[in-house]
Chain A
């Protein structure tokens, strides 16, 4: 800046002879100095103040927020570990399950192993054995053993046709149910296995085999098994209904025949008395 001023001053001295030139050089010098001179500097902002503000924001605002978040997360952890899923409560529940298993399962199983056999003669004893053996593998043997005890349906000519039909139907309904009961007995044993497995897994002390999170799956499985058990229960009830209906129908058929016979007898008696 000072050098430029010196140069333009020298030029003005050299041009002292002409006032116009002096003025022109003066104007050009002004433009040059104006162009070169730095723009007016803005007043310095307070850098330490800004830094302090940032520091305050970090330590107080963000720091406080982080502290609050940590408090909430710690609260959640405490809730999980002390209120919802305390390991002691989980272990207690499992030990309670195991205790109930020990207390009841063996007793019930031993009670159910008592399988009554009270028939004394050969044929009844054989039938009793097969209808109580809790297996479906020998279902086809039931009809022959049944006939040995309850006798076959009489041949035509030795019994009235309706009686023959009814006898056959009675036998069929009774045998069907005896066979279905063998199936049902076997099904009960399998259901007991399923129940034992569900209960044992729920009460397994190993957290890697049974945990609060897996119990929802175990429960869902148990409920779907319950539906099936209920369906089999319905099948058994349907069988009882068939049997009961058959029995009532049989009685009713006899009533029909008695009514017919009574009517015929009345007619016959009337005719006899008329002849006399």
Chain B
């Protein structure tokens, strides 16, 4: 056993001597091999736990708690206020049920006015003779295209201005003026009826728009409806104006009758006086 060990020791020494001899003979090659080995072998790195990491850990923990308390707390407070506003707006200012109810009522009001429009369109013509029937149908037509036909139909019922042979000029003037105002009023009545129909259609459309509106868009629709209302008032005033014209001419006719009566009385008196003087 000891012999084997001695033999093994001898071999190692021999190998070592040979290696040293080889290294001495190839020292530069060995140096290059050592260089490559030193460059390619992994280097030692610093361990995870270091005084620097501990400081970083404490710092990040502080940042975290600060974020939670300062930013988290602040955001939570803002969220609370915004939630309160949201709840207030949803339950007090713009409750969905109230909006739905208002939209529903808009539909019901439209229903009421549709009913009124229907009864206003029931035919009411009652004239029995051809000429009055013709004039009445024009007057009740609610069609502006019928306006030019008024003059002929009017003359068929109420006659025309007398010829110069049949009436003195002042009387003809009076008759013509009165006919003109009466016809104007009739024509304007047809126009006002037609306009009223257009207004009803526009108002129905506006009402339909309201039914698809929101509280935010409703004031825009209301602004348009207000404009239409102003327009409607203007047409009402226009109708009232024509009515006033008719009444003014009527009053003027009463005055003119007195004037003519007075003039004729003076003329008659003069004629009688002259006749008696001749006799």
> How close is A204's CB to chain B, nearest CB, in angstroms?
8
Cβ-Cβ contact count across A and B, 8 Å cutoff: 420
> How close is B154's CB to chain A, nearest CB, in angstroms?
7
The digit string for B236-249, where 1 denotes a CB below 8 A from any CB of A, is 10011011001101
Q: Known A-B contacts: A213-B99, A220-B106, A220-B225. Give 17 more (CB < 8 A).
A: A58-B71, A76-B85, A77-B84, A176-B136, A183-B122, A194-B109, A194-B113, A198-B109, A210-B102, A215-B102, A227-B228, A227-B229, A231-B195, A231-B203, A253-B158, A255-B175, A259-B175
Q: Which residues of A contact B (CB under 8 A)?
A: 4, 7-8, 11, 14-15, 17, 21, 24-25, 28-29, 31-32, 35-36, 38, 44, 47-48, 50-51, 54-55, 58-59, 62-63, 66-67, 69-70, 73-74, 76-77, 80-81, 85, 87, 90, 136, 139, 142-143, 146, 153, 162, 164-166, 168-169, 171-173, 175-176, 179-180, 183, 186-187, 190-191, 193-194, 197-198, 201, 207-221, 223-228, 230-235, 237-242, 244-253, 255-257, 259-260, 262-264
Q: Which residues of B contact A (CB under 8 A)?
A: 20, 23-24, 27-28, 30-32, 34-35, 38-39, 43, 52, 55-56, 59-60, 62-63, 66-67, 70-71, 74-75, 77-78, 81-82, 84-85, 88-89, 91-95, 97-99, 101-103, 105-106, 108-109, 112-113, 115-117, 119-120, 122, 124-129, 131-133, 135-136, 139-140, 154, 156-162, 165-168, 171-172, 174-175, 178-179, 181-183, 185-186, 188-190, 192-193, 195-197, 199-200, 202-204, 206-207, 210, 213, 215-216, 218-219, 221-222, 225-226, 228-229, 232-233, 235-236, 239-240, 242-243, 246-247, 249-250, 253
10 cross-chain CB contacts under 8 A: A24-B31, A59-B70, A66-B70, A208-B97, A214-B99, A221-B106, A223-B229, A237-B236, A241-B188, A245-B183
